[in-house]
Amino acid sequence: MAGVLLWVICPTENASFATSSLLSLVPKSGSQVRRYSKVCSRLKFSTGVFAAASLSSVVANPPRSSEEKVYEVVLKQAALVREQKKERISDVVAGNDQAESMTRGDLLNGAYNRCGDVCAEYAKTFYLGTLLMTPERRRAVWAIYVWCRRTDELVDGPNASHITPKALDRWERRLNDLFEGRPYDMYDAALSITVSKYPVDIQPFKDMIKGMRMDLKKSRYKDFDELYLYCYYVAGTVGLMSVPVMGIAPESKASTESVYNAALALGIANQLTNILRDVGEDARRGRIYLPQDELAQAGLSDEDIFKGKVTDKWRSFMKGQIKRARMFFDEAEKGVAELNAASRWPVWASLLLYKQILDAIEVNDYDNFTKRAYVGKAKKFASLPIAYGRALMLGSSKFAEPARS
């Protein structure tokens, strides 16, 4: 994945790839494009309103928590899903279904297959789960995965030291282009087709880039509210990107917002698990992704993290952090059961495997300074049939909306 550096820093080196053949596969008009522009214009949040607010307004409206800010994105994405349902009905009546024409062509199939190869190499268990999905959904998930991985590699990959804020600005401009039907390379083309076919909003993608910007300039988090926002940016966004593709089960009685909240919870849980697993590794890079106020309450400091010594204080602190991560996993489980049946297996597999990383930290006596918690191959394979069994279960209805009179 080191090649991603070239694509971002030296865009002219790859400009020739944007051939007319790939561009012709990306829809630039029609009901789908109108759908996104119509919904986004109606729901767009204006920063100018806040910039013009008077001092009295600021006093009357205290700052919102990170969860409240993120929930706005959830509501926006849920509205897109509802809008898609209406558009699909009108498209069928008018005979405007262009799905087949959009997915034709060896170039596009090749682009999706390359995305599948990347997913198979770097997320083997998740990739196996996607093979149960319909071909169309499977390929769309691969395209989203590859974009996320490429984005993460910018600040966490082998060439991260060369990445600047301007490079991320260029990456975001490429994102805007592919959402407007102007892909830059084959991976962009696969995602461009995907976002034109599913009710995927651009905001979660932009928010992930915000998370990368945070990694360039921020290495401490004063409280969990700050950490929550970071976890949303770098991982919770993935759930919001993926649910429109995976789909909600037709028999589900859950509200759209509740399913998206569960997907968000899974992303937060996964990132909290990553943080707890990588405490020692991050410390060696000068980063501490733990709430500073909670460390202080536990009688711990940055110096204790850098020393890397497991003490009773550290064990007690870690127990609380693991408990919170598990609470997010519990919330996520309710939503997985509401997904389209063919899409549940890869999500269950990922969820169960990540939960076992928390178990491994406990087995290591909370030594995440010198020992890396991981799930062995035997446990991974043992988890697959368990995940498959859970995927066969019907929706839990725990998110069912209250009965309407």
Q: Which residue intervals of 44-105 are DSSP H helices?
A: 47-51, 55-60, 66-94, 99-102
* pLDDT tens-digit readout, 223-252: 999 999 999 999 999 999 999 999 999 999
What is the arithmetic mean of pLDDT over 86-105? 43
How many Å apart are CA 32 and CA 211, to the nearest integer? 29
Residue 320 pLDDT more than 70?
yes
How many Å apart are CA 384 and CA 304, to the nearest integer? 38
124 pLDDT band, cuts 50/70/90, is: confident
What single string gives the DSSP state of each residue in 281-302? HHHHTT---SBHHHHHHTT--H
> Which of 55-64, 102-111, 167-176, 349-358 has the lowest average pLDDT?
55-64
* pLDDT tens-digit readout, 266-318: 999 999 999 999 999 999 999 999 999 999 999 999 999 999 999 999 999 99
Residue 380 pLDDT more than 80?
yes
Q: What is the dihedral of CA 352, 311, 306, 289, to 10 degrees?
A: 40
Reported pTM: 0.78
- The position carrying tokens 């769309």 is 140
* CA distances (Å), origin 91, targets 15, 135, 177, 179: 35, 22, 25, 21
How many Å apart are CA 346 and CA 361, to the nearest integer? 23
Q: What's the pLDDT score for residue 206?
A: 97
- Residue 244, Cα to own-chain centre: how many angstroms? 12
**Angle, CA of 106, 146 and 140, to the nearest 5°:** 55
Using a pLDDT cut of 90, give the percent of the chain over it.
Answer: 58
Q: What is the mean pLDDT of the chain?
A: 81
Rounded to the nearest 10 degrees, the angle between the axes of helix 165-179 and helix 186-197 is 50
* pLDDT tens-digit readout, 383-398: 888 888 888 875 544 4
Dig out the tokens for 156 from the structure: 């966490």
What is the arithmetic mean of pLDDT over 188-200? 95
**Angle, CA of 140, 2 and 352, to the nearest 5°:** 50
Amino acid found at 214: M
* pLDDT tens-digit readout, 342-355: 899 889 988 999 99
Reading phi first (left if > 0) and then psi (alpha if -120 to 50, else beta), residue 270 is in: alpha
- The position carrying tokens 């980063």 is 287
Residue 221 pLDDT more than 50?
yes
217 pLDDT band, cuts 50/70/90, is: very high
Residue 155 pLDDT more than 60?
yes
Q: What's the pLDDT score for residue 91?
A: 40
